[in-house]
Structure 1
Amino acid sequence: MRLRKRPWVKEEIMQYTSYTVVNPENHKGVWHKLFQNNNPIYVELGTGRGRFITSHAQNNPEINYIAIEQKQEVLVQAIRKANHLELSNIKFILGNVNRILDFFGQGEISRIYLNFIDPWPKKRHAKRRLTHQRFLDMYKHILNDNGEIHFKTDNELLFEFSLNELSGQKFRLSNISLNLYRDEHNLAQHIQTEYEEKFINQGKPIYRLEAKKES
């Protein structure tokens, strides 16, 4: 279902001046100045309604979080959550993932979250998948030497594709699960996204992996 455009949404987003970063390219390489500390920075690409990243920010005040989302109708809901929780360690970018090299400097990010991204199932659209090698090259540039990618999906074919792409780009894979909620015993550490909760209720397996950048 497509979300209807609501002209007032972007105006509301811009009113949250302590959370919304209007010109993220101005902070490239110096995000620590905006956060006013040198804490690690974790980025979620396609944050949706924001349950995942706002929960992490609430639980980990020693980490800085940046959420990127191009759909303003859902991003505003994420920002509202952060505002309600009075979080001081999170920022939001209304923008496209294709521009991440404009937003972040080399080695500036410690972790990237990819949660339930669009699988783009047709082969001709493979380059649009956020785990395609062209995106992985961008991630390698902005991740620091110990940087990681944490990836979750309900799509088996996308997961297989992502495993191959990450291996081909020399990421070291770990904590691979073909059914997270069957295999994992310490589930309390896994914060669910809104989509994740929906898929679990439908009985779908959740695929997950961690990928570490190799020097």
Structure 2
Amino acid sequence: MRLRNVKGSRETIAANPLVIQNITEKKGQWNKVFGNNNPLYIEIGMGKGQFILEMARRNPDRNFIGIEKYSSVLVRALEKCETFEGGNLRFIRMDAEEITEVFAANEVDGIYLNFSDPWPKDRHAKRRLTYRDFWNRYHQILAPTGKVVFKTDNRPLFDFSLEESAAAGWTLDNVTYDLHHSPYAEGNVMTEYEAKFSALGNPIHRLIAHY
């Protein structure tokens, strides 16, 4: 996916108090960042932030961190948060491969993966956020009752994710190939991509997994 560079995005991100710097120093101490011991949820590859911002609004008793690799995308999420007054939302610019260096064992209560890059070529399979090595990383940072929620409209990626989660030893709590027409639709918070693809008639696939 080719991304348009946003001039000054790195400077904007560095100056925004919602974006956490020196992130490896926060490992095991994220409760101090938020100033409470509320459960911590992260979204990896959050895009322009619609999902995690709405989750923070709906759940003031939970803490949320949006993780995005690209500055030009993260800066758009920050724009959405200009009127958000809650104290339970922060952002990190980082690569998902580094999450075990940033979060300690049992520190995260839930992980959201929404419309992740499918990396369709076979030789790029290890880059997919639902490749087994990533599942192993998630297991390292999740609390014993923690879960991973994954949504996509890409059927090959979804089938791949089912296989990889099983190979990594995870158990599926529920699986649906058409979330919006399933018993699990109530309370679903949509991402920008989800709204777009759903409007086109694309079924949304979702799984929830625990270890």
TM band (smaller chain)? over 0.9
Q: Which residue of 2 aligns with 1:6?
A: 6
- For 1:1-215, list aligned pairs within 5 A: 2-17=2-17, 19-184=18-183, 187-213=185-211
Partner of 2:112, secondary structure, is: strand
Look up the equivalent residue of 1:198 and give its one-letter code.
K
Structure 1 CA distance, aligned partners of 2:58 and 2:163? Answer: 33
Q: RMSD between aligned alpha carbons?
A: 1.3
Structure 1 unaligned spans of 5+? none
Structure 2 CA distance, aligned partners of 1:22 and 1:59? Answer: 26
Look up the equivalent residue of 1:59 and give its one-letter code.
R
Residue 188 (structure 1) shift = 4.2
Structure 1 CA distance, aligned partners of 2:136 and 2:126? Answer: 12
Structure 2 CA distance, aligned partners of 1:83 and 1:40? Answer: 24
Structure 2 CA distance, aligned partners of 1:170 and 1:3? Answer: 35
Partner of 1:189, secondary structure, is: coil
Structure 2 CA distance, aligned partners of 1:168 and 1:206? Answer: 23
Partner of 1:187, secondary structure, is: coil
Structure 2 CA distance, aligned partners of 1:58 and 1:13? Answer: 22
Residue 6 (structure 1) shift = 2.9
Structure 1 CA distance, aligned partners of 2:129 and 2:50? Answer: 20
Residue 78 (structure 1) shift = 1.2
Structure 2 unaligned spans of 5+? none
Partner of 1:191, secondary structure, is: coil
Look up the equivalent residue of 2:100 and give its one-letter code.
L
Structure 1 CA distance, aligned partners of 2:128 and 2:117? Answer: 7
Look up the equivalent residue of 2:80 and give its one-letter code.
K
Look up the equivalent residue of 1:8 and give its one-letter code.
G
Residue 87 (structure 1) shift = 2.3
What do the CA deviations read for 1:18-77 (whole angstroms, capped 9, x no partner)? x11011111001100111111110000001000000000011011000110011112112
What TM-score do the two structures reach when normalised by structure 2? 0.96
Percentage of identical aligned residues: 43
Look up the equivalent residue of 1:193 and give its one-letter code.
T
Structure 2 CA distance, aligned partners of 1:118 and 1:4? Answer: 16
What do the CA deviations read for 1:165-210 (whole angstroms, capped 9, x no partner)? 11122212122111111223x6341111000011011111100010
Residue 4 (structure 1) shift = 2.7
What TM-score do the two structures reach when normalised by structure 1? 0.94
